[in-house]
């Protein structure tokens, strides 16, 4: 059973100042997890985690990871702006983008970020709009179906990302001729894997590719970026990944493939978002309505604006009815929000304790791709974000949106003056 990192007593105090709904994050858990990841890859002197900013683009959260030695993985102009505002620069920024506008490459070059090219044609495009740097990475897509010993993991052949192997070879040759000195290889072949096999299998593929690229092009490959894909157990009965076993599996592949090829100096990078943050965030909401027609519904003051994953993917997020953790789960509910869409449901036919109006509801594992995927459909406003600090105090790290925020892009208009 999943246990919230906040108690009912804590939440009762918090809502006196910050009304629901809100996202709250656990500083202690975030720091401990970051340190464990670093320990798992401590065998590699150049190891670095580039936190995927898109997962949780909040400077207060990112700063915790910065203090733990993490860089940032950016994928847009505004994410680069955030990195710059937080005093990131140079090789502490990985810029992994696709269908990239010229101004984003220009900004990445201004910050001297490591650029991870997604497409062969971007070589010429980057050179034209911003110039080529001394160090560059290219994203690899092997095509077909990605398998491990336990079966099919995903289908890279259907993904829009990356170079083919032939394009990688030709691309590295061209880039070397144009003066690039140091190279990286990146790949993301499966999402949210609950398997200790994923990273070691991916590493083996990329390590073999690195050896082949060095032999065929003579380039200096500086790093291998294993990207993201390590998942978390959203369901309470799922077994979590063992990051120490994963790190050891990558080490074995490194020793077996790269070291005999004279490439034992490569740095290992990761771009984890979900693994770093998801378990350390909750969406806290209040039950405000109950409806009984053909099914029993509990309506919350939160909706898909606050957490899109269940509506978008049918994703499971565990739910705790605070104060009723030890009561039997003998009531079947759909837990819904108030959007004018029937998929605005956090849970369908979920067995839970009896829920009363006013009960506080914790929706688990929202620390990544939770708040960040929010939107404003129906004129709904995004919630506040709070940080539960290691000393037990609570800090506001993003205020809730107001109607003025929602209408701000009409500030040039007479309609705005009538609104405010």
Alpha-carbon distance 286 to 370, whole Å? 17
Distance CA 336, CA 344 (A): 6
Main-chain phi, psi angles of 223, to 5 degrees: -150, 160
Nearest alpha carbon to residue 114 among 229, 267, 247: 267
- β 281-292/267-270 pair status: unpaired
User: Is residue 268 within 8 Å of residue 43, measured between CB atoms?
Assistant: no
Q: Catalytic residue at 340? A: yes
CA atoms within 13 A on the CB side of 248: 6
Strands 360-363 and 151-154: unpaired
Contact 62, 51 (CB under 8 A): yes
Six-digit token string for 270: 């990761």
Is the distance from CB of 165 to CB of 205 less than 8 angstroms? no
Is the separation of the CB atoms in 305 and 376 below 8 Å? yes
Query: With contact defined as beta carbons under 8 Å apart, do 228 and 52 qualify?
Result: yes
Cα–Cα distance for residue pair 201/176, rounded to 1 Å? 28
CA–CA gap between residue 203 and residue 93 (Å, rounded): 22
C-alpha pair distances (Å), 279 with each of 27, 59, 234 = 11, 18, 8
**Which burial class, exposed, middle or buried, applies to 24 when counting CB atoms under 10 A from its CB (0-12, 13-18, 19+)?**
buried
Residue 363: half-sphere exposure toward Cβ, Cα within 13 Å: 34
Rounded distance between C-alpha atoms, residue 99 and residue 286, angstroms: 40
Structure tokens belonging to residue 415: 């309609």
- Strand partners of residue 290: 298
Q: Which of 70, 74, 138, 340 is an active site residue?
A: 340
d(CA 155, CA 149): 15
Distance CA 383, CA 23 (A): 7
Helix (H) or strand (E) holding 296: strand 296-300
Q: Which two tokens stand for residue 279?
A: 């378990």
Catalytic positions are 340
């Amino acid at each position: 059973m999943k246990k919230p990192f906040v108690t009912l007593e804590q939440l009762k105090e918090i809502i006196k100042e910050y009304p629901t709904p809100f996202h709250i994050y656990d500083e202690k858990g975030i720091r401990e997890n970051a340190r464990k990841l670093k320990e798992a890859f401590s065998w590699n002197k150049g190891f670095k985690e580039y936190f995927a900013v898109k997962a949780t683009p909040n400077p207060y959260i990112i700063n915790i990871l910065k203090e733990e030695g993490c860089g940032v993985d950016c994928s847009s102009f505004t994410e680069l702006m955030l990195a710059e505002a937080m005093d990131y620069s140079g090789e502490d920024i990985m810029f992994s983008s696709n269908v990239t506008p010229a101004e984003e490459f220009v900004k990445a070059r201004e910050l001297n970020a490591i650029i991870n090219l997604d497409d062969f044609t971007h070589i010429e495009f980057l050179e034209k709009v911003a110039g080529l740097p001394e160090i560059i990475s290219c994203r690899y897509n092997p095509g077909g179906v990605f398998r491990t010993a336990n079966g099919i993991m995903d289908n890279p052949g259907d993904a829009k990302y990356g170079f083919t192997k032939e394009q990688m070879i030709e691309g590295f040759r061209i880039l070397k001729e144009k003066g690039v000195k140091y190279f990286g290889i990146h790949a993301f072949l499966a999402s949210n894997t609950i398997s200790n096999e994923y990273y070691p299998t991916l590493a083996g593929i990329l390590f073999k590719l690195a050896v082949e690229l060095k032999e065929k092009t003579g380039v200096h490959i500086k790093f291998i970026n294993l990207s993201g894909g390590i998942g978390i157990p959203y369901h309470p009965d799922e077994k979590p990944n063992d990051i120490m076993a994963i790190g050891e599996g990558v080490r074995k592949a490194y020793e077996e493939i790269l070291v005999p090829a004279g490439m034992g100096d490569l740095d290992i990078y990761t771009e984890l978002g979900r693994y770093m943050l998801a378990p350390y965030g909750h969406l806290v909401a209040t039950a405000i309505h109950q409806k009984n027609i053909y099914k029993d519904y509990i309506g919350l003051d939160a909706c898909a604006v606050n957490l899109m994953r269940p509506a978008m993917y049918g994703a499971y997020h565990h739910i705790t009815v605070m104060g009723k953790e030890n009561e039997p789960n003998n009531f079947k509910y759909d837990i819904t929000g108030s959007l004018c869409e029937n998929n605005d449901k956090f849970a369908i036919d979920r067995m839970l304790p009896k829920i009363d109006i006013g009960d506080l509801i914790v929706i688990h594992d929202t620390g990544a791709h939770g708040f960040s995927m929010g939107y404003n459909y129906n004129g709904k406003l995004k919630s506040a974000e709070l940080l539960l600090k290691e000393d037990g105090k609570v800090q506001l790290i993003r205020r809730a949106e107001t109607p003025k925020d929602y209408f701000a892009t009409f500030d040039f208009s007479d309609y705005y003056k009538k609104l405010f």
